[in-house]
Chains A and B, each alone.
Chain A
Amino acid sequence: MYKTQTIKEKIVERYSSLVDNSDQFTNAVKKPLKQTFRINSIKGDKDKILNDMRNYDASIKKIPWCDNAFETDLTNLGSSIQHFSGQIYIQELTSMVPPLIVSNIIKQKTVLDCCAAPGSKTTQMAEIMNNEGHIIANDARHGRIKSLRGNLDRLGITNTTVTLRDFNSFPNTSADVYLVDAPCSSEGTIRKKNAVARKWRQHDYDRFSKLQKNLLKKACEMAPKGSTIIYSTCTLAPEENENVISQILDEEDIDLKKININGLKLDNGVTNWKEEDYNKEVKKCARMWPHHNDTDAFFLARMEKC
């Protein structure tokens, strides 16, 4: 177990060869993140909710690349009436990206959220879907299912079925979109106070990588032709990102698609790491570096089943 400061230094050092600007990266990692949230229009009109909030918080700013995301100088919006009534959800900006990239294909559709708890992305997708269609939100841990259930209740989500299962043994289920928001070493959350410090261990990369590959493989195997599979992690480690996608590309019948979001800077996936070459296609994956958009770090891949 390391102190947060030591981990920050280790992470900066580990990725200095991958990053475009080491100084900016180092500075961004040291800077704490602002609290960000999104509005849950299932519980009211977006403008009305914002106006109500602006009565006590003049610092609210809109995030340019996400219609529904906002940042604030307040640190405890969890004690606001909007949070109590489910009109807002406090969420990291990076975590909002996976639902955003499928927002135009999930309305009235079926989504299988393979590792869903505590439900940030499930509830965001439900809002995008206007509480229609169907989300199956699965997680393997009972304790985390409880927080998922709490969030679904608070946000008034009616289009979701919750299942408690190791996804590796999930029954074959046909869906239009599969989201594998995989457990990971969480390095990307380094700007959050103590978020990584509790968990970070060097040797975890291999363990996570195996786990992630199995989960993604399972989703790819059950996905019908033409369906979309999203893989995401909140780590910078290529072992858990491009490495996993590269193996899946070699073994499964899938195409990798490029990801674009207006106004959001996304870096390409890396094709080589620690003397290992990956399938060249993994360039199409997207990396989010903390200094590019003033966020956490994040990784995304968008696949289509052939």
Chain B
Amino acid sequence: MKRHLVSTADLGRDDALLILDTAEELSQFSGRAVKKLPTLRGRTVVNLFFEDSTRTKTSFEVAEKRLSADVINFSAKGSSVSKGESLKDTALTLQAMGADAVVIRHHASGAPARLAGSDWLHGSVINAGDGTHEHPTQALLDAFTLRRHLNPGPGHDLAGRRVAIVGDVLHSRVARSNVHLLTTLGAEVVFVAPPTLLPIGIETWPCRVSYDLDSVLPEVDAVMMLRVQRERMNAAFFPTEREYSRRYGLDGTRLAKLPEHAVVMHPGPMVRGMEITAEVADSPRCTVVEQVANGVSVRMAVLYLLLGGAVFADGHADAPRTELQEAAQ
């Protein structure tokens, strides 16, 4: 039974569509003068960030506040908490505070899975990015954005759409979450990267792999550029920044090779001049800003559904209907 969101691999098609449809409805509310909803009044949501991430943290915080949750920010970066052993102690503290949900960002792959699988705390665990493992809400907002552009409408999936994910797949939690989710939604994923930046065993993933960006561009409905850290160069993943952007960067010329309707996505923060030129980043086909707005709606949907007792995949809601519920009707 999953009352957590640790990996998009745990989401079935119906779960994923429920989240996207809910987010679509909730996105309406962001257009109103009064954006706040009373839904999570009295619920405590903790943002537990062991790693800096202004964007993700802000997005979650906005989502939590729009749902009227009590928000506690627990920044573990740099404090004594950043040392490994204390994940457990931190969790016990949060449990004592009565956290109904913990949004966790951690530099170690698997830390959210560890929290969710432990008896250290009882609230829902929402993975806000763990090491080089997963970042499920990012994938959900990417899917949400893609659906709006490629197949809008409640209940719609991404069947038959083709998405290229380009760049440092090896170190990317966004790529891992996206390959599961997009595949679940019926899309075809093509990873494009130099062989050094693809994980061993990728041939078993539900995706295609290409080393040649130019040949892939004309046949995709969307291209998602992953951030490439310059420091990777020092570990010989690629020779120089210049060579990387020449072979795998998205510039105006390459943009022109995309089909008319195709969009350019980026999870941010962008490294302009590396994986994407300013010209492309600022073009109307680039959905970066839109993705940020969509992130809030998607995170609201996840929080609402998890705290409301929805159970993703292989399970059913915890509480059977009780006398109390009957009386409350």
Do A and B actually bind?
no
Binding site for B on A (CB under 8 A): none
Binding site for A on B (CB under 8 A): none
